[in-house]
């Protein structure tokens, strides 16, 4: 049975992905589409509702992104958020202009139309999250104002007859007190969604579609050893069986024991056609003397392609290439109008060198937590599914210096100690990501009766719902103290351990 669909039109806002995530959290399947989609193409998808996202532009400027005006006349419920609200007003004939005073962060919200179905069960006064310099000065015909703030007279508006709704604030972020209730009202009361979408159904439908697409053709998978590529491989294996061959390029930059664990799961648990390429010497040779993190990513990405190309040619003609791309990869790799945060060697690199018909990316529209749920549905062992996220270039970007075998071994040991003590403290599932970094800082220390001049290891632990923003975790001092003591005493070459207490933004989750 096909699931009910809500479409999110992306106008390049930093929270666009988070809107989709919140919709799925409410049990409604959601897909993100570019704002350039035509009204006809959108209608053909038969969505129950459409959400227009935020964005960094001003709707009244000629070059700003706009969807078709006809979209508002399809009779499909539409919710505009921030830029999406201003765009709805602009397209419907209202006036949008620079605000006398912009609003950023937490702002007091007052409902003026509490009887609106959008605000059912919402408190008359609450706090919302704003981020705008423009505002709706004049409402379009047929719309009424539904909420206000001190500096924004139309913080929400509605045209009940046309089923068009808009909010200037961001209901998808946790800082908006009524956000989840507002989205629930839009999805269930206004769009009539049942809210019964589950990952099990998604996995079944995806496998069925893959099976139909693949037919009798051969499939190869670029397996990096991370959670994403492993789940993608198992999903493809469920559909293709022995037609799939997984090529695991072990670049020697994985965490301690990780390569062996991946091989055990693929060979023993799922009986896959599995090729492990031990290419540690090749990668370390190419990385000799390289210190710039983007250069490291580039070197590793290029060598990964070369090795994968070499091994894939031994298999012969293949129909499909499986990649473990997930939605945050797409966002941070500069898809659409979004800003490039970092490069990813697993997005769009392999097609240039491998002879195949089509790419299969079964996880492309899933967030990290959804990938884990899909993995559990597929029967992957919990220990593997709940492994820590890991950058494609591996430990190379967590070594803030040139990569050498000695530095890799040092960081593997320090990281293993950190992960072990976090698990011993019962905190493994409560922390979204945690790892050790080998910094390029050396300092004087004292061990026994001698003076040392050794490396500093930094520890990083964050909590996040989407891996696009994150807060540091206040790990108890006794746990940090034990980790520090063990690393300094058990890992030669380290005499100092520090803990990172920076959020994302302004920092990234990774150190590099």
Give the mean pLDDT of 16-37. Answer: 89
Cross-sheet strand order for the sheet of 78-81: 29-34, 5-10, 49-52, 78-81, 164-167, 156-159, 144-148, 95-111, 125-138
Residue 337 has pLDDT above 90, yes or no: no
Catalytic residues: 82, 170, 172
* Token output for 366: 């899933």
Share of the chain above pLDDT 90, in %: 63
Please, which pLDDT band fits residue 168 given cuts at 50, 70 and 90?
A: very high
Cα–Cα distance, 357 to 217 (Å, whole number): 10
**Any idea which of 22-31, 63-72, 220-229, 394-403 has the lowest mean pLDDT?**
220-229
Beta bridge partners of 496: 456
Distances (CA, A) of 353 to 214, 338, 348: 21, 27, 11
Per-residue model confidence (pLDDT) at position 339: 38
Please, which pLDDT band fits residue 354 given cuts at 50, 70 and 90?
A: low
CATH, domain range 5-190: 3.40.50.880
Kind plus residue range of the DSSP H or E element containing 440: strand 433-447
Mean pLDDT of the chain: 89
Give the mean pLDDT of 377-385. Answer: 87
* Token output for 284: 């370390």
Is it true that domain 199-385 has CATH number 3.40.50.620?
Answer: yes
Per-residue model confidence (pLDDT) at position 287: 95
Hey, do 5-190 and 199-385 end up sharing a CATH topology, with the first three levels equal?
Answer: yes
Give the mean pLDDT of 262-279. Answer: 90
Burial of 364 (C-beta count, 10 Å sphere; 0-12/13-18/19+): middle
Closest CA to 337 of 66, 26, 93, 62: 66
Give the mean pLDDT of 296-321. Answer: 88
Are 59 and 24 in contact, with CB atoms under 8 Å apart? no
* Token output for 91: 């397209």
Give the mean pLDDT of 407-422. Answer: 97
Kind plus residue range of the DSSP H or E element containing 138: strand 125-138
Estimate to the nearest angstrom the gap between the alpha carbon of 415 and the chain centroid.
23
Q: What are the φ/ψ torsions at residue 156 (nearest 5 degrees)?
A: -155, 150
Per-residue model confidence (pLDDT) at position 311: 87
Domain residue ranges in the chain: 5-190, 199-385, 404-499
Class of domain 404-499: alpha beta
Pairing of strands 219-223, 156-159: unpaired
pLDDT, tens digit, 9 for 90 and up, residues 126-156: 999 998 999 999 999 999 999 999 999 999 9
């Amino acid at each position: 049975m096909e699931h009910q669909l809500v479409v999110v039109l992306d106008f390049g806002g930093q929270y666009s992905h988070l809107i989709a995530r919140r919709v799925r959290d409410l049990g409604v399947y959601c897909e993100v589409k570019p704002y350039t989609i035509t009204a006809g193409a959108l209608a053909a998808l038969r969505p129950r509702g459409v959400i227009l996202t935020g964005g960094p532009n001003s709707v009244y400027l000629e070059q700003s992104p706009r969807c078709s005006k006809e979209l508002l006349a399809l009779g499909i419920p539409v919710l505009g958020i921030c830029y999406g609200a201003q765009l709805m007003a602009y397209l419907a004939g209202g006036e949008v202009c620079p605000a006398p005073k912009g609003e950023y962060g937490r702002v007091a919200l007052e409902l003026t139309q509490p009887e609106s179905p959008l605000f059912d069960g919402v408190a008359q006064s609450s706090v919302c999250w704003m981020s705008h310099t423009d505002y709706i000065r004049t409402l379009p015909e047929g719309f009424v104002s539904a909420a206000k703030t001190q500096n924004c007279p139309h913080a929400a508006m509605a045209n009940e007859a046309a089923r068009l709704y808009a909010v200037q604030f961001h209901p998808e972020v946790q800082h908006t007190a009524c956000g989840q209730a507002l989205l629930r009202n839009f999805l269930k009361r206004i769009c009539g969604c049942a809210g019964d979408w589950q990952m099990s159904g998604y996995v079944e439908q995806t496998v069925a579609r893959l099976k139909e697409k693949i037919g009798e053709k051969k499939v190869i998978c670029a397996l990096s050893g991370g959670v994403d590529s492993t789940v993608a491989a198992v999903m493809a294996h469920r559909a293709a069986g022995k037609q799939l061959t997984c090529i695991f390029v072990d670049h020697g930059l994985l965490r301690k024991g990780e390569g062996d664990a991946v091989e055990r799961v693929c060979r023993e648990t799922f009986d896959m056609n599995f090729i492990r390429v031990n290419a540690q010497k090749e990668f370390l040779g190419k990385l000799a003397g390289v210190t710039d993190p983007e250069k490291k990513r580039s070197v590793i990405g290029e060598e990964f392609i070369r090795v994968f190309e070499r091994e894939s040619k031994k298999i012969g003609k293949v129909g499909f290439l499986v990649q473990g791309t997930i939605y945050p990869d797409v966002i941070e790799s500069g898809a659409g109008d979004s800003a490039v945060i970092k490069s990813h060697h697993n997005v769009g690199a392999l097609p240039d060198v491998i002879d195949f018909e089509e790419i299969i990316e079964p996880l492309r529209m899933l967030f990290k937590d959804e990938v884990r749920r899909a993995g559990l549905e597929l029967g992957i062992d919990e220990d593997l599914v709940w492994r820590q996220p890991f950058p494609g270039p591996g430990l190379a970007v967590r070594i803030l210096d040139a990569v050498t075998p000695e530095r890799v071994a040092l960081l593997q040991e320090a990281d293993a100690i950190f992960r072990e003590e976090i698990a011993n403290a019962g905190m493994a599932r409560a922390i979204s990501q945690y790892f050790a970094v080998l910094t390029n800082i050396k300092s004087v220390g004292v061990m026994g009766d001698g003076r040392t001049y050794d490396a500093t290891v930094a520890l990083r632990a964050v909590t996040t719902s989407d891996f696009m923003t994150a807060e540091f975790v206040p790990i108890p001092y006794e746990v940090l103290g034990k980790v520090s003591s063990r690393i300094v005493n058990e890992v030669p070459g380290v005499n100092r351990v520090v803990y990172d207490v920076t959020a994302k933004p302004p920092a990234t989750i990774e150190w590099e």
